Amino acid sequence: MKSNFYIILFCLTAVFQLSNAQKNYNLIVEGFDWGPAVSKVVLELNEEIKEPINYQNFSVNARRGPINDIKVSPSNGERRVINSYVSTPNGVRTQVSNFLTLVLEVGPTVSIANPFQYSRGNHWVDYKLSIVDKISLDHWGSEKERFIPLVDEFDLSGIFKGVNSGKEIHYAAYDPKSPEKKPLIIWLHGGGEGGEDPTIPLLGNKAANYASKEIQSLFGGAHVLIPQSPTRWMDSGSGTTRGEKDDIYFKDIKALIETYIKNNNVDESKIYVGGCSNGGYLSLKLLLEYPDLFAAGYISALAFWAENVTDSQLEKIKDKPIWFIHSKDDNTTDAESTAIPVYNRLMDLGAKDIHLSLYDHVIDITGAYGGKQFHYPGHWSWIYSHANKSYLDYDGKPVLQKGVPVNLMQWMSSKKL
């Protein structure tokens, strides 16, 4: 009986010492096709190392806590560690350091990795990790810093007072930091990314990728402007519009674009507007209202119903380069009611540079989660836009630029007023 008492006392003492000795970690949050995920955790060690510690030594558990009374599910679970390497504090590989990065399993079905929770829109949750080295019994339980690649390169402080809605519109902006005038890429998010935190539209569906080296190189550097709707872009002030009446934001966004141009080194002949779903609606609305402002448009999961677009409106944009992206199994914005008839009517008007990439399904384009056999919701056709993986036109043939096959961003970067 006495020996059992000492065993219990030893265990309690060990737990107490472990909790008091907990160390700091840094989180790495990345944007993926399906949204954000906590992909890595960086551990601060007591001494420098040259070789990584075996990743199998570590157990990692996550807790997703509620923010503003939003119910969170799942609320906790184990994170599978799949690799480790010596790194800098922000997870960059290096030769010698006192930091170790653990690579964590992520994927479209690994919900415990997601730092967002959807509840009438996406919201950050209170995301915490507990990491234990099962050999040394060292414990890391306190987040010190958080790094979000690409998102960290955006200025997130922008706020614009709407001239029409009267609402404050927050926005993210990427500056290529060039003394020369550079193009401007505008992205308008979908219905789930509204609010007052521009990291939500940047990560909700990987829109931050327009600042990636791959896409930036195609434009020779470009500004990226990502406004965030305080409500939703299809807000008419008295309900939701599908184009039958004006929304309350299109004049505001036009004024924001003009203000951004005035305050930044933008090539006004190379302004491109695109968006998905709600943002696809607003993109087409801006093109219809202000065709002389934009060199081209790129629209996925269009939510502007074709029956609400007049022939006289389409006549104004028939010579405007526009690339639509949609999926046949989109049950939210039916292609037969939106993108397909708009495309066909523009072609009937003699349009020469209008394209429609129409997919059977939105698949895993990485091949890591099932490839063609894995289907995202059909509404998520923006995945192809952000990853710059659209190549084919409505007839199934490659889109050609001067006889050469091009992808979406190659095509768009060549357009100018």
Sorting pLDDT into bands at 50, 70 and 90, what band is 2?
very low
Pair (377, 253) in one structural domain: yes
- CA trace torsion 194, 149, 42, 58 (10° rounding): 70
Is 4 within a domain?
Answer: no
CA–CA dist 52, 157 (Å, integer): 38
Pair (135, 181) in one structural domain: no
The label of the residue with tokens 């006392």 reads 9
CA–CA dist 125, 74 (Å, integer): 11
Pair (176, 121) in one structural domain: no
Report the DSSP beta bridge partners of residue 296: 272
Q: 118 lies in which domain range? A: 23-147
Q: What is the mean pLDDT of the chain?
A: 94
Q: What token pair was written down for 111?
A: 């919900």
Q: Where are the beta strands (DSSP E) in 249-295?
A: 266-276
Is 7 within a domain?
Answer: no
Boundary residue ending a domain (100, 117, 147): 147
pLDDT over 80 (residue 84): yes
Pair (305, 339) in one structural domain: yes
User: What pLDDT shows up at residue 6?
Assistant: 35
Pair (375, 237) in one structural domain: yes
Residue 341: which CATH number? Answer: 3.40.50.1820
Pair (319, 207) in one structural domain: yes
Sorting pLDDT into bands at 50, 70 and 90, what band is 8?
very low
Cα angle 245-258-380, degrees, rounded to a multiple of 5? 55
Q: How many CA atoms lie within 13 A of 29 on its CB side?
A: 26
CA–CA dist 339, 390 (Å, integer): 15
What would the pLDDT profile of 266-298 be if each residue is shown by its tens digit?
Answer: 999 999 999 999 999 999 999 999 999 999 999
What would the pLDDT profile of 14-48 be if each residue is shown by its tens digit?
Answer: 443 444 468 999 999 999 999 999 999 999 999 99
Report the DSSP beta bridge partners of residue 102: 41, 84
Residue 141: which CATH number? Answer: 2.60.40.2180
User: What pLDDT shows up at residue 71?
Assistant: 87
DSSP-derived letter for residue 389 is: -
Pair (133, 166) in one structural domain: no
Pair (277, 236) in one structural domain: yes
Pair (262, 217) in one structural domain: yes
Task: Provide the percentage of residues in the chain whose pLDDT is more than 70.
Answer: 95
Sorting pLDDT into bands at 50, 70 and 90, what band is 225?
very high
- How many folded domains does the chain comprise? 2
Pair (102, 139) in one structural domain: yes
Pair (271, 284) in one structural domain: yes
Is 110 within a domain?
Answer: yes
Is 88 within a domain?
Answer: yes
User: What pLDDT shows up at residue 10?
Assistant: 39
Burial of 210 (0-12, 13-18, 19+ CB in 10 A): buried
The label of the residue with tokens 């949609």 reads 326
Cα 110 from chain centre:
17
Is 13 within a domain?
Answer: no
Boundary residue ending a domain (112, 131, 147): 147
> Is the previous residue joined to 74 through a cis bond, with omega within 30 degrees of 0?
yes
The label of the residue with tokens 């931050």 reads 208
Boundary residue ending a domain (104, 123, 147): 147
Tell me the average pLDDT across 102-125: 96
Pair (254, 274) in one structural domain: yes
